[in-house]
Amino acid sequence: MTTILKLGGSVITDKETPETVDDDALGRAVDAVAESDVSGLVLVHGAGSFGHHYADKHGVTPSNGSRDAAGIWAIHDSMRRLNDEVVRRLQEADVPALPVHPLSVGARDADSTLSLAADSTATMLAEGFVPVLHGDVIAQIDAGATIISGDELVAHLAREVDADRVGLCSTVPGVYDESGAVVPRITDLDDVADALGGAETTDVTGGMAAKVRALLELGAPASIFGPDVLDGFLAGHSVGTVVDG
């Protein structure tokens, strides 16, 4: 059984203050992982108040690359420092966490298709470690380096490691319907197209609609939920919104 869990950047950092870990929130997430008996866990975390600031400063996005090595390193370095902290806290709680830095093990080709040396993550998993990846910069053919988000890593890894379950722990408790209630299950984008602003507009507006569309194509059930039910997700319960195409 393999589970991929993404901890959103805004869950584990203080978004208002640059480069600040939300110690309490990270501590609660670490405790939930440490106290669960989930085996075969891959963790991915986002940037929060770390990488985005440097990505903006150096004008690097998922589609706009840069060849400025110092700028690319500044973005990566901030994410590596956040990752160091996440891995350190997990290890302190006796979780056998090890870092995997996408910049060092992956690349995109000219049409943006991602390849990751998934051997690294898969071998760590097979050996009983908990690989911890993060949103990062990544070299891209003909573009220098571009941003790779945690969500994109989750979608890629779900196929590479043949995940059985995927969880996205974010600051919202799930996908809301038009009345503001959390939708328990989505099997088709049409189920929530009205609430999300219409399927046609999703690529432009991004946000939750783009997330749901990507999750519908995963081939594994994916849950979107808030931090207060992370322990329930890790215990195998249905929490938040389950997206299952």
Q: How far is the CB of 214 from ligand IP8 (least distance, A)?
A: 12
Separation of alpha carbons 78 and 85, rounded Å: 11
Q: Which two tokens stand for residue 26?
A: 């990270």
Q: Give the residue with the Cβ less far from ligand IP8, 61 or 187.
A: 61
Tell me the backbone φ, ψ of residue 89, rounded to 5 degrees: -65, -40
Beta strand residue intervals within 36-143, DSSP E: 41-45, 97-99, 106-108, 114-116, 130-134, 136-140
Separation of alpha carbons 127 and 105, rounded Å: 18
Q: Give the residue with the Cβ less far from ligand IP8, 84 or 194.
A: 84
Binding mask 118-137 for ligand IP8 (x = CB under 6 A): -----------------xx-
Separation of alpha carbons 38 and 53, rounded Å: 34
Separation of alpha carbons 163 and 158, rounded Å: 5
Binding to ligand IP8 by residue 79, rule CB under 6 A?
A: yes
Of the residues 2, 3, 5, 9, which one makes contact with ligand IP8 according to CB under 6 A? 9
Binding to ligand IP8 by residue 150, rule CB under 6 A?
A: yes
Of the residues 75, 155, 192, 234, which one makes contact with ligand IP8 according to CB under 6 A? 75
Of the residues 149, 170, 223, 241, which one makes contact with ligand IP8 according to CB under 6 A? 149
- Distances from the Cα of 139 to the Cα of 9, 102, 144, 159, 185, angstroms: 22, 10, 6, 21, 37
Binding to ligand IP8 by residue 55, rule CB under 6 A?
A: yes
Separation of alpha carbons 72 and 147, rounded Å: 9
Q: State which residue has the least CB distance to ligand IP8.
A: 135
Of the residues 51, 71, 174, 240, which one makes contact with ligand IP8 according to CB under 6 A? 51
* Footprint on this chain of ligand IP8 (rule: CB under 6 A): 9, 46-47, 51-52, 55, 75, 79, 135-136, 147, 149-151
